[in-house]
Structure 1
Amino acid sequence: MGESEAFEEFIKTAHNPKYARVSRQTTTRDIQKYFTDCKAKLVETFGTSVNCVCLTSDIWYGNAKEDYLSVVAHYINSDWQLEKRVLGLVLIDVSHNGQNIADRVAYVLTDYGLTDKVFAVTLDNASSNASAMLKLKPILSHYLGFDVTDEPEYASFTLSGVYYPTSPLMIHYLVKIALHLKNYANDIHIRSVVQPMIDKYNKYWRGIPLLYSFAFILDPRAKMKGFTRVLRRLGGLTSTDYSTYLVGTRARLTDVYNKYEEKYGAVRLRRTDPPVLSGKSRSAWDEIYDDDGAAGLVSGSLPGTLNMSRDTSATSLLHAVRSSVSASNASELVSYLDCDTVNHLTDDFNILNWWHQHKLTYPVLSIMAKDILTVPVSTISSESTFSMTGRIIEERRRNLKPEMVEMLTCIKDWEAAEARLQQNVEDKELEQAFEELYLD
């Protein structure tokens, strides 16, 4: 198009009378240089200002009958703001098996110098992705100095196939959904339809991945107190006894913190007492911290109920774990968990800002929180990349070389990120529908 007389006339008439058209070869060289310069700046940022990245990846079946594999990095910048960058959109013109997927992901990470900085990878639950992770784990297991393949309890760090919302607002709505499902299940006429939904709900909530429990505990409004109460509510809804899981989660959280202590202990400069923050109006957190409501919902007669005030065995187990923590009582993790929760029980509370403000109080734990809170729980960022790529490879541009497709996709994403436009919603009607979805 840029070489056509019509395009040249349009630019001269509407924008710049002195415009002179250039060849596509010149345009290609200009794009290549611009991409290379932007990429070099991004590599420098990763090398100097980013502790770790969390990845998503997926495969796109393009309009030009060519398939592309995306690699998208999520990280928190030096100002404690969440960032996203498309690192690669690589042609995958071979079988979509685990080895080929792993090879392309590893190539992109090596190209950006990120092999030793990967904390988590989020993929969909395709069998080829599971195979790819088995091949990638030994390569990507160096960030905290241990091989996750040898520690199965950390498997959920690197393979996430299901979205597990952990915000109190989402838990609030899911509790309501569960109650409705139970009520409908008593109706014999629709039980056949509702029962599979109940089974699916229970399947995903009975086995909660450790990583999402860690994220919830690292919300200063929750800590172990809120986590215990959430498990109590879920125990009543799914007929599951979470007592052992509760104790095990704290033990595993301590294990992970000790890894961070080994890696980042030298960053500790000074410790200050955590400030007390006053709260605003309560919202979905009422469902968690309302003792009467929680007791009425799960009632002691329900099987699988977790009630720490009455479950003496769970209480003694928890006490035993606290007593056996390898770090001293002065450790940041113990100090954080033993402090009162933040009385700011609203859903507009910015967790990253809180950890940023308390990084001197918890210099090591804040790094751990930053890493865990960066992990994306779905592959939506890859899907967003594919939507953008679909506008690049349209009907009249099917002859673009894969290298040019990747450069254009990355440049568009990086420029949107710099302008803070990545999260802009294009479909305003859909956005409004979601805004009004939970109106009572």
Structure 2
Amino acid sequence: MAPSQKVYVVGVGMTKFIKPRDLRDYPDMGREAATKALLDAGITYDKVQQAAVGYCYGDSTCGQRTLYQLGMHQIPIINVNNNCSTGSTALYLARQAVEYGIADCTMALGFEKMEAGSLGSKFEDRTNPLDKTMSMMSETRGISAGPFAAQIFGNAGIEYCEKYGATPTHMAKIAEKNHRHSALNPYSQFRDIYTLEQVEKSNKVFGPLTKLQCCPTSDGSACVILASEKFVRENNLQDQAVELVAQSMATDSPKLFNESSIELAGADMTRRAAAEVFAKAGIKPTDVQVVELHDCFSANELITYDALGLCKPGEAHKLIDAGDVSYGGKYVVNPSGGLISKGHPLGATGLAQCSELVWQIRGWCGERQVPNCKYALQHNVGLGGAVVISLYKKAELGSSPKYVDSRKRVGYNPATEAREVTEQEVESVRAKQSSEFMARL
């Protein structure tokens, strides 16, 4: 089935990512992110024709419970769970609906309310979906008492060092960079800057990975509004629209079980999806200026540089040594601070990555702005497995004389200031035909 139309991001919004301390519940966080995205697009919720809502921890219809606060106009709401790539999977579904003409305006919303501490299985009475991955790790490098995810990605980093000459210091440099970047992101869970020595000497988690090289558990939400060209023009959004140029989702290949720790961490699905995205877009990886990369652990960022094609295979550490993954280099990777420092509320992560890249393409990011930003690349991966890779650029739709900059509408720049929404702002975006019933919610 051939695609019928291009897809544009017209609105984004997110909450500040915070430590899981039961300070906010998911309906509250989801309402804030969705309201911000609708305010950014300058539309009310009744213009959204379909929604995909992502979360990993929660009962079956949390999406409906959250979005009903903005209106009950009976649109399809699809609840999504795809491990750490959940947010981007919601985006993938929302994009398909617009691309294939099912809807002119869709929403992808993601949120997570998490528990403190390392992730663990929540269901002990059934097969663990990562049982085969655990068996393969046990056969190759063994299983220790440390967090399972840290072992998977830590072993991948160890193998990369063994095969190509990288060192644990290269992984520490990645974490130092991402913590430094996060200091300029008001949405980040952590905004402290650490020296390389502090990163290397923080508490050991597994193998070469220290605490400051591992993402935290987080609470938070993010939301994206997608639209067709027709919708963009009808609503005078040409000036702020960002084109979702290409997107691909891939799952694991048989290489997952070829006794390689790098492949066990899902590297081959990243290679597949990246190749598809660049082929669809007709550009090369070197044409990209900014990347939001799924750095759940510094080791994953290391092995993903060449899986994405940002460098030749086995030369990720050379990219780091050349200073080509931060400002002033070939690419700026994780200007938001990445998962390591911005935080990782599983269902929101992919949509927060999208929000950052949209702000970067628009040129709204102030001190953390990547200069001359034409193409932006997003990488969001979940073990078990799924990866979604997305490519963005500024829309080429001309300008609208009726356009009102959304920063003027909300009264501040959401890329550089994290505010909570007011009740008046929530009311302003509610679906008008059902607003009389909202007092019950």
Shorter-chain TM-score range: under 0.3
Which structure dedicates a bigger proportion of its chain to helix? Answer: 1
Higher RCO by CA contacts (8 Å cutoff, separation 6 or greater): 2
**TM-score, length-scaled by structure 1:** 0.28
Q: Which of the pair has more CA radius of gyration?
A: 1
Compute the TM-score of the two structures, normalised by the length of structure 2: 0.28
Give 1 or 2: higher strand fraction: 2
